[in-house]
Amino acid sequence: MERLHMNYIRDLIHRVRSGESDRRIARDLRVSRVTVRRYRKWAEAQGYLQPDTPLPHDISVAATLGAAPRPPRVASSVEPYQEAVQRLLDQKVEMTAIFQRLQEDHGYTGSYSSVRRYVRKVRPRKPDAVTRVHTAPGEEMQVDFAAAGKLYDPSCGRLRRAHVFVATLCYSRHQYAELVFDQKMPTWLGLHQRAFESWGGVPGRVVPDNLKAAVAKALVYDPVLAEPYRRMAQHYGFVVSPTKRATPRHKGKVESGVHYVNRNFMAGREFLDIHVANDHLKTWVRERAGTREHGTTHQAPLRLFKEYEQAALLPLPFEPFTLREIKQVKVHRDCHVTINKSYYSVPHAYVGQTLDAYLSERIVEIYRAQELVATHERSQEAGKWQTRLEHYPEHKAAYLQHTPDFCRQAAARLGPATSQVVETLLADRPLYRLRSVQAILRREETVGAERLEAACARALYFGDPTYRRIKEILNASLDREPLPEIAAAEPARCHTFARSSAEFFVVSQKVES
């Protein structure tokens, strides 16, 4: 039977007198019904269930019920190996290794949990002493994410898993909080920017954990920051000081702040969508969380912020930070890179190389190390192409630039024969014949407009206006020869047989005979 505190016994007797059932009493006091029945019988034997019997201030049941029985002690399966365990502990071997050594060297068949309980019994942990860090106004801000359940996303029309972002100023404990659907780089940077704007200034140091948007490579002493976050810190003038891995106590001020938002704002509430939730959250931070008496400072966070911390923040820069993300992209054979399902051209000399794409809200900058390679306006829709012809090799750029209309205009400038050749070729599948037309027009650069016009006229005269025929005419210098003249004024001749029809008739009779 469970041994209850004196106050619980008085409450139990009072409930029994009131006529409550054993089930109700057990549920409210969180004890078993067996315990309630035992105490009911004991109280009845003592006469405490009589309505007029006063209850003594000090109710003791030890003498009447006897000492609580202790469960029989079960020996640990590790005790036969206590000398080996003690020796390994002296050598500072970890518990997982101790478990493996016992299995391999001593044939231990018990569980790892038994080893862990035994080690904790023979060598209990010593409580760690901690140091509470106090910061000056405006010196530090701690940031963190926490799960916030599912909220409705109007942009896609469905419920999505949401996160609450909390930024806490360490001196005043004043907060900025916002609900979001992801922890990606653009979201991470935007949350910082909106927090700074809501406070009208920037703290000197920001303490995040090691999420990917903040830290590219988590190291103990020199963590490598994500490049967009590093640039943002330089733009606003704050220092980033990530915590060590698995040490949430190093940013305990925001940890308790996140817990407070989840427990006091999110718990037990439902919202129409995430926008409505954020509107309520903004009001709650200002009117409830900001005006309460904080458990550590015993002051209202919003009052401390306005009176001491706001003036100590760094001023906001004149221009807001615009970089949103940096991605590594590979230059494909078509001289384009793919970024968020859109395509951007780079010079053909970088085909096959991996470059860095710096993405802002409206601009895409592509770098090779510190060298700026290309700049484009950022596409707002997937599947869009941003192409500059100068990024292609010269001959490929010419093909794209010299469209059928361009070729017709150039041919008309050279002469009627060239124009007729171009029109004849483009009339039959213009995209297939466009290369031939471009090649014919390029001959002007080597032979001149006059010779090209004469070669086209000769090709038309003989009924073969193709690039191959025009090239042969120019190579053989046949364009310099005059075309055969046709005597247009000469009357047409009537063609007759050399023999008469009578002779054919006589010959045919001889053949038949």
Q: For residue range 32-68, list pLDDT tens digits in order.
A: 888 888 888 888 888 778 777 777 666 655 444 544 5
Cα 76–Cα 99–Cα 125 angle in degrees, nearest 5: 70
**Side chain identity at 234, as an amino acid letter?**
Q
Q: What is the mean pLDDT of the chain?
A: 82
Query: In this model, does residue 316 exceed pLDDT 90?
Result: yes
Between these two residues, 176 and 130, which has the higher pLDDT value? 176
Residue 307: pLDDT band by 50, 70, 90 thresholds? Answer: very high
What pLDDT does residue 126 have?
A: 76
Q: Which residues contact 76 (CB under 8 A, 6 or more apart)?
A: 114, 117, 118, 121
Listed in order, strand segments (DSSP E) in 155-273 are: 158-169, 175-180, 205-207, 215-217, 224-225, 239-240
Residue 498: pLDDT band by 50, 70, 90 thresholds? Answer: low
Residue 95: pLDDT band by 50, 70, 90 thresholds? Answer: confident
Q: How far apart are CA 257 and CA 174, in angstroms?
A: 9
Q: Which helix (H) or strand (E) holds 303?
A: helix 301-304
Q: How far apart are CA 305 and CA 284, in angstroms?
A: 16
Query: 53-62, 86-95, 121-130: lowest mean pLDDT where?
Result: 53-62
Query: 33-47, 122-136, 436-450, 490-504: lowest mean pLDDT where?
Result: 490-504
Nearest in space to 325 (alpha carbons), one of 190, 224, 509: 190
Query: In this model, does residue 394 exceed pLDDT 60?
Result: yes
What pLDDT does residue 175 have?
A: 94
What pLDDT does residue 332 have?
A: 92
Residue 386: pLDDT band by 50, 70, 90 thresholds? Answer: confident
On the 0-12 / 13-18 / 19+ scale of CB atoms within 10 A, 277 is buried
Query: 98-107, 254-263, 487-496: lowest mean pLDDT where?
Result: 487-496
**Side chain identity at 424, as an amino acid letter?**
T
Q: What does the pLDDT look like over 197-215, one tens digit per residue?
A: 999 999 999 999 888 888 8
Residue 491: pLDDT band by 50, 70, 90 thresholds? Answer: very low
Determine contact, residues 283/196, Cβ cutoff 8 Å. Answer: no
What pLDDT does residue 508 have?
A: 47
Q: What backbone torsions phi and psi does residue 242 show, to the nearest 5 degrees?
A: -65, 150
